[in-house]
Amino acid sequence: MIESPIGVFDSGIGGLSVLQSLQAALPAEHFVYWADSGHAPYGEKTDLFVRQRSLAITDHLIRQHHIKALVVACNTATAVAIHELRAQHPQLILIGVEPALKPALQISQTGHIGVMGTRGTLSSEKFQRLLGHLHGQAQFTLQACDGLALAIEQSTSLTEGGQATESIAQLLQQYTRLMGEFGSCSGQMDTLVLGCTHYVFAQDALSALLGPQVKLVSTGEPVARQTRRLLESARLLRTGPAPHALSARLCLMSNGDVAGLQAAAQRWLQLPHSACHRADMQV
């Protein structure tokens, strides 16, 4: 089992931001990444649909790739499905993601924190419980960003890339304006939580829009640290030499636009197109 890969899945390319952190923290491990792009984005789908997709993908990764651990690199899938995944696969090491409210609390100076996420994540019971546990510790302004994950997903497409990039800029302006004032003065939001793994790929545009005084917080590094801790505890951490080529330890699959996944993997992970494959549409 030590030599088995770690599975990672998301509704599309967003989970690549988590995969970046995982490969940095676990340089000797092998990873199998599933982009469910044929059904993206999850954030605007029903809970039942997301649970069914999460269970099907997990079963496939266990059966076909014999994974030793699974990182659910999607806030929406974590929020609505991880409890069922744990119930059905009690022996599997499972790590989910959630909006990084606690890390944001530690760095905010104004005590006013913005949270951008999908409608599915922000309305979920799991997120509302997390928010409730932090009641009174800060002011949280929540913003559901309909269409943003899809625009980021489409930005890697050769046919839709330019138009999608323009849409990203417009959506970021629209949603940050709705949230209120950002800045370092009293009452302003000085910290912004990126509550969807896709949004990490828009952080440069967000930083340019909001200014350097606003800190952006995502979940990749905490998830990678937790994955390493759990593997060490289970004595499943691979400690051998890391392959010289990233493509030797990373296999990426998509049941949607493989060219989009290839472009994203090349842009953000410096991976060759040969690392990306067409996934089985039956899953």
176's enclosing H/E stretch is helix 161-179
| Cα 270 to the center of its chain, rounded Å | 18
- Tell me which of 74, 145, 251, 276 is the catalytic residue: 74
Give residue limits of the domains in the chain.
Answer: 6-97+221-278, 101-218
Residues 6 or more apart from 277 whose CB is under 8 A from it?
Answer: 251, 252, 253, 254, 258
Q: Look at domain 6-97+221-278 and name its CATH class.
A: alpha beta
Type and span of the H or E element at 147: none
Question: To the nearest whole number, what is the mean pLDDT of the chain?
Answer: 92
For 117, 130, 147, 172, 261, the CA distances from 77, given in Å and listed in that order, are 13, 16, 17, 23, 20
Q: Which fold has domain 101-218?
A: Rossmann fold (3.40.50)
What digits encode the pLDDT tens for the residues 223-268? 999 999 999 999 999 987 766 666 568 999 999 889 989 999 998 8
**What are the residues whose beta carbons fall under 8 Å from the beta carbon of 5, sequence distance 6 or more?**
29, 30, 31, 32, 65, 66, 67, 68, 251
Cis peptide before 41 (omega within 30 of 0): yes
Band (279; pLDDT cuts 50, 70, 90): confident
What was the pLDDT predicted at 239?
85
| C-alpha–C-alpha distance, residues 128 and 192, integer Å | 18
Tell me the whole-structure pTM to 2 decimals: 0.89
Task: Say yes or no: do domains 6-97+221-278 and 101-218 share a fold.
Answer: yes
Is 74 a known active-site residue?
yes
Catalytic site includes residue 276 = no
Which of 145, 196, 251, 276 is catalytic? The answer is 196
- Between CA 210 and CA 215 the distance in angstroms is 9
